[in-house]
Structure 1
Amino acid sequence: MKPKKRTTIYDIAEKLNVTPSSVSRALNNSNYVNETTKKLILKTAEELNYKRNTLASNLRKGQSKTIGVVVPRINQNFFANVIAGIEDATYKQGYNLIICQSNESYEKEVQSINTLINQHVDCIVISVSVDSKNYKHLQNVLDHGIQLIQFDRVVEELETLKVINDNEQASFEAVNQIIEQGYKRIALLEGPQNLAIFRQRKTGYLNALAKNNMPVIDELIIENAWTKELGAKATRKLLGLKQPPDAIFASTSDFSALGVLEVATAMNFKVPSQLGICGYSNEDFTELTSPSITTIDQFSFYMGKTVANLYFQEMENNDTIVVPKIISIKPKVIMRTSTQKLKKD
């Protein structure tokens, strides 16, 4: 069935034998149209099921009142909560969101950015994919005069507004608490080092070892173990060593930590007595596993609200030059059963 044609102001004007400009003025409650004509136009608009094209109207005013969001994966609790936080703040301001998912693909990320530019969004919010190593598409956003806000996974060399976590400090505190529980050989599952957040988390791990006079053991550091499958593969390698680790810090994600737990259970390693496990992001399932998984809460909903409010603050400044600004949110280590080697009194 062919879709029904959308009613326009020209249809209303033709039906009433008035000018389209008169219809437009009446719909905008202008005083330049007498009350009798205005009421007739509004009544006819309702009868013809006229819907205002708010996007076109806003574009004529120089804005779309739309924010585009690009995230690696929508189905991860962290990114879903960030989006929820953004929506909570933007809804109150009468803004709409267009949400895109890169699926950790550089090509999809570029495509999403180009789509949002063509949609004339006022602002683009992004957390870059692990596959992204070229950032010309983000510079293109700035070249089009569109506000760009990066969060979580950010490109350090691009001077934009950024909302991040203190990843280095959070990792330091997590590993330090693991050491305080009596663990001696702590492995690190690290993410792709082209992304600053994973470099920072590795630095926090190394700093905690140094503080406690513990050696850095290269065979205990596994590169690019940032998914559940890669975390499981890394764990099989680590637990097969002559001297396996007695704790694993999955600095990349809780999904990687879940892969660790599943392999450890299959290989009959007792958690936490023989192996401590710590993840990152405080995904919902970390409370439900047996044992529950120690993790790091990034306050993702608050991060989303911070991103949106940062945009609105910049809008209020009415300054054509955006001064790069970085807001850092302090994460919190949540100690659960998977690293509680010592009995509580």
Structure 2
Amino acid sequence: MKSKKRTTIYDIAEKLNLNPSSVSRALNNSSSVNDATKKLILKTAKELNYTRNTLASNLRKGHSKTIGVVVPRINQNFFSNVIAGIEDATYKQGYNLIICQSNELYDKEVQCVNTLINQHVDCIVISISVETIDHKHLQNIIDHGIQLIQFDRVADELETLKVTNDNEQSSFEAVSHMIKQGYKRVALLEGPQKLNIFRQRKNGYLRALEENGIPVIPALMIENAWTKELSANATRQLLSLPQPPDAIFASTSDFSALGVLEVATAMNVKVPEELGICGYSNEDFTEITSPSITTIDQFSFYMGKTVANLYFQEMENTDTMVVPKIISIKPKLITRSSTQKTI
């Protein structure tokens, strides 16, 4: 079925034998159009189901009042909460969101960015994919005069507005907590080290071992265990060691921690008595697993609001020489049953 053509001001003008500019002025409630003509135009517009093209109108004024958001995955609690926080702040300012997901693919991320540029958005907010190494597409945003705000996973070398977590300190606190609970061989499930957040979390892990007098054992650090399946495989490998770990810090996500818990349960390893588990992100399911999973809350909704408000603050900033702001949000360790070992 052929879709019905959208009514324009030219359709209204033709029906009433008026100049399109007169119709436009009337629809914008201009005092230059007399009340009788204005009333007739508004009545005709309603009859023809005319709706204002807000994007076109805003673009004529020099902005689209639209923000584009690119995230690795929409269905993760962290990213969906960030989006909700952005929307909460932008709605109050009369802005719209266009949301894209890269599915952790570099090529799709580039496609998302190009689409948003072509949509003439005022700002692009992005958390880069696990595959992203080249940042030319991010520089392209800047070159087009579009505000770029990076959050969570960021390209350090690009001087843009950034909203991040203190990943190193939160990881340090998580691993220190497990050591204080009596765990002596704490393993680390790492994310890809090309991403800044995973390098920072590894640094926090190493610092916690050092400051608590625990030796660093390379065999207990597994690279690229950043999905539930990869973490499950890494856990089987760790628990099969002659001297297996007595705790695992899944620094990549709570989904990784869930993979650890499932393998431990299948191998009849008692949690937390024989194996402590800590995840990252405070996904909803961590409260209802058995045992519940210790994790790190990143205050994702607040992060989203911070991102949006940072954009609006910069909109009001007339000093073009100001160094781009970097806002760091301190996460919170949420201790639950999976690390409550009886010493």
AA matched with 2:196: A
1:230 and 1:28 map into 2 onto residues whose CA distance is: 58
Other-structure match for 2:310: 310
If the length of structure 1 is used for normalisation, what is the TM-score? 0.98
Trace 1:14-53 onto structure 2 (pairs within 5 A): 14-53=14-53
Trace 1:216-231 onto structure 2 (pairs within 5 A): 216-231=216-231
Other-structure match for 2:88: 88
Aligned pairs, number: 343
Other-structure match for 1:158: 158
Other-structure match for 1:251: 251
1:154 and 1:8 map into 2 onto residues whose CA distance is: 43
Other-structure match for 1:194: 194
1:51 and 1:176 map into 2 onto residues whose CA distance is: 59
3-state SS of 1:83 partner: helix
Other-structure match for 2:261: 261
Other-structure match for 1:183: 183
For residues 55-110 of structure 1, give each alpha carbon's deviation from its aligned partner in whole angstroms, at most 9, with x where no partner exists. Answer: 00000000000000000000000000000000000000000000000000000000
AA matched with 2:260: V
Report deviation, 1:322: 5.9
Other-structure match for 1:142: 142
Report deviation, 1:327: 0.3
**Deviation above 6 Å: which 4+ runs of structure 1?**
none
Residues 1:172 and 2:172 are matched in the alignment = yes
2:330 and 2:297 map into 1 onto residues whose CA distance is: 9
If the length of structure 2 is used for normalisation, what is the TM-score? 0.99
1:318 and 1:37 map into 2 onto residues whose CA distance is: 42
AA matched with 2:252: T
For residues 129-184 of structure 1, give each alpha carbon's deviation from its aligned partner in whole angstroms, at most 9, with x where no partner exists. Answer: 00001000000000000000000000000000000000000000000010000000
AA matched with 1:75: N
1:248 and 1:50 map into 2 onto residues whose CA distance is: 60
1:68 and 1:342 map into 2 onto residues whose CA distance is: 48
1:24 and 1:342 map into 2 onto residues whose CA distance is: 74
2:127 and 2:42 map into 1 onto residues whose CA distance is: 45
1:141 and 1:4 map into 2 onto residues whose CA distance is: 35
1:254 and 1:321 map into 2 onto residues whose CA distance is: 41
Trace 1:201-240 onto structure 2 (pairs within 5 A): 201-240=201-240
1:5 and 1:299 map into 2 onto residues whose CA distance is: 45
Report deviation, 1:316: 1.2
1:170 and 1:342 map into 2 onto residues whose CA distance is: 23
3-state SS of 2:316 partner: helix
Report deviation, 1:317: 1.4
3-state SS of 2:307 partner: helix
Trace 1:102-121 onto structure 2 (pairs within 5 A): 102-121=102-121
Segment of structure 1 superposing worse, 319-328 or 142-151: 319-328
Report deviation, 1:324: 1.1
The RMSD of aligned alpha carbons is 0.8
1:202 and 1:342 map into 2 onto residues whose CA distance is: 27
For residues 21-63 of structure 1, give each alpha carbon's deviation from its aligned partner in whole angstroms, at most 9, with x where no partner exists. Answer: 0000000011111111111101110111100000000000000
Other-structure match for 2:281: 281
3-state SS of 1:178 partner: helix
Report deviation, 1:321: 5.2
Report deviation, 1:319: 4.2
Other-structure match for 2:332: 332
For residues 186-208 of structure 1, give each alpha carbon's deviation from its aligned partner in whole angstroms, at most 9, with x where no partner exists. Answer: 00001000011100000000000
AA matched with 2:80: A
For residues 275-312 of structure 1, give each alpha carbon's deviation from its aligned partner in whole angstroms, at most 9, with x where no partner exists. Answer: 00000000000001000000000000000000000000
Other-structure match for 2:127: 127
2:249 and 2:209 map into 1 onto residues whose CA distance is: 12
Report deviation, 1:323: 2.9
For residues 201-255 of structure 1, give each alpha carbon's deviation from its aligned partner in whole angstroms, at most 9, with x where no partner exists. Answer: 0000000001111100000000000000000000000000000000000000000
Q: Relative to structure 1, is the Cα distance of residues 32 and 321 closer, same or farther in structure 2, using a 3 angstrom cutoff?
A: farther
Identity of aligned residues (%): 83
1:101 and 1:168 map into 2 onto residues whose CA distance is: 26
Structure 2: which 5+ residue stretches go unaligned?
A: none
